[in-house]
Amino acid sequence: MSELYRFIHAEKANYPIGLLCRVLHMARSSYYACLEGEAARRARQSADDALAHEITVLHLASRRTYGVARIHAEPRRLGRRVNRKRIARVMRERDIRGSTRRKHRSLTPPDKKATPAPDLIDRDFHADTPGTKLVGDITYLPTAEGWLYLACWLDLATRKVVGYAMADHHRAEPGVDALDMTHGRGGLEPGCVIHSDRGSEYTSTPFRARIRELRLRQSCGRTGSCFDNAAAKSFWALLKEEIGTRI
């Protein structure tokens, strides 16, 4: 609303609106149109504020990880339609942002001196029987005391984490310890395939020796191809997004 319209609105209790419009050389219809527009703008602002409150609650409940897509899905799941572009605008105006997955960065280089195991998975990340095909990887998570390295093994039949280990380094020990936990829980079939990338943790002598001791079969993807271990990489991406590490 312009200054002239604000002046008329403020003085209409003291003078007739028609007189004020004539003195200011303004049509009465223009004043009433502006008045109606101001009411509509206030109604839209009130609706945006209510939507922003709902978005904030959902965003905080997701540990500040949900972006426009997931925020938009929640009202639709409850049977209420909200325009996606409107949600994006409200989040942008209030600087509400979700976490994004960053480009994958390899944790450790392969051991070029070691002969890698063959790829027994060949990107077939399915298994009918538990304990026959496992995929694993190691990643890093930020903590108040520095980087925490987490290794895990995932059963492709159940999609459950069957073994894990943590350490303040990413040498061979976390991968071996996670494998020992998996074996200790039982359920591994003879000749179970243990698949990973060609990082130095998995081509190391201690890890390969432990594979032989447990009578398992080692499998490794190609160098520099994250898709050869996509099931494990996807698990890390989802875990980091849910806990909000944003790395």
Among candidate residues 42, 62, 93, the one where a domain is terminated: 93
Q: How many domains does the chain have?
A: 2
- Do both 76 and 161 map to the same domain? no
Q: Which domain holds residue 188?
A: 133-243
Q: What does the pLDDT look like over 61-86, one tens digit per residue? A: 887 888 898 899 888 887 888 899 99
- Do both 164 and 63 map to the same domain? no
Asked whether residue 101 is assigned to any structural domain, the reply reads no
- Do both 143 and 228 map to the same domain? yes
- Do both 69 and 139 map to the same domain? no
CA distance linking residue 225 with residue 203, whole number of Å: 16
Among candidate residues 93, 110, 143, the one where a domain is terminated: 93
Asked whether residue 223 is assigned to any structural domain, the reply reads yes
pLDDT of residue 212: 92
Please determine, for residue 102, whether its predicted confidence score (pLDDT) is greater than 70: no
Continuous segment of H or E residues that includes residue 92: helix 84-93
Asked whether residue 187 is assigned to any structural domain, the reply reads yes
Among candidate residues 38, 69, 93, the one where a domain is terminated: 93
Please determine, for residue 216, whether its predicted confidence score (pLDDT) is greater than 60: yes
- Do both 143 and 230 map to the same domain? yes
pLDDT of residue 84: 92
Give whichever of 5-14, 98-107, 167-176 has the largest mean pLDDT.
167-176
Asked whether residue 77 is assigned to any structural domain, the reply reads yes
pLDDT of residue 63: 79
Question: pTM of the full predicted structure?
Answer: 0.54
CA distances from 32 to 133, 201, 242, 243 (A): 74, 75, 51, 53
Asked whether residue 228 is assigned to any structural domain, the reply reads yes
Please determine, for residue 38, whether its predicted confidence score (pLDDT) is greater than 80: no
Q: 193 - beta bridge partners?
A: 133, 217
Burial 102-127 (b: 16+ CB within 10 A, else e): eeeeeeeebbeeeebbebebeeebeb
Q: What does the pLDDT look like over 125-157, one tens digit per residue? A: 999 999 999 999 998 888 888 888 999 999 999
Residues 240/247, Cβ–Cβ less than 8 Å: yes
- Do both 147 and 58 map to the same domain? no
Asked whether residue 224 is assigned to any structural domain, the reply reads yes
- Do both 150 and 215 map to the same domain? yes
DSSP state of 114: S
Residue 194 pLDDT level (bands cut at 50, 70, 90): very high
Strands (E), the chain: 133-143, 146-155, 161-167, 193-196, 217-220
pLDDT of residue 132: 94
CATH number at residue 150: 3.30.420.10
Q: Dihedral angle at the C-alpha atoms of 86, 91, 97, 102, nearest 10 degrees?
A: 30
- Do both 70 and 154 map to the same domain? no
Asked whether residue 237 is assigned to any structural domain, the reply reads yes
Contact partners, residue 198, CB within 8 Å, separation at least 6: 110, 111, 116, 220, 221, 222, 223
Asked whether residue 125 is assigned to any structural domain, the reply reads no
pLDDT of residue 111: 54
CA distances from 28 to 35, 104, 191 (A): 11, 63, 89
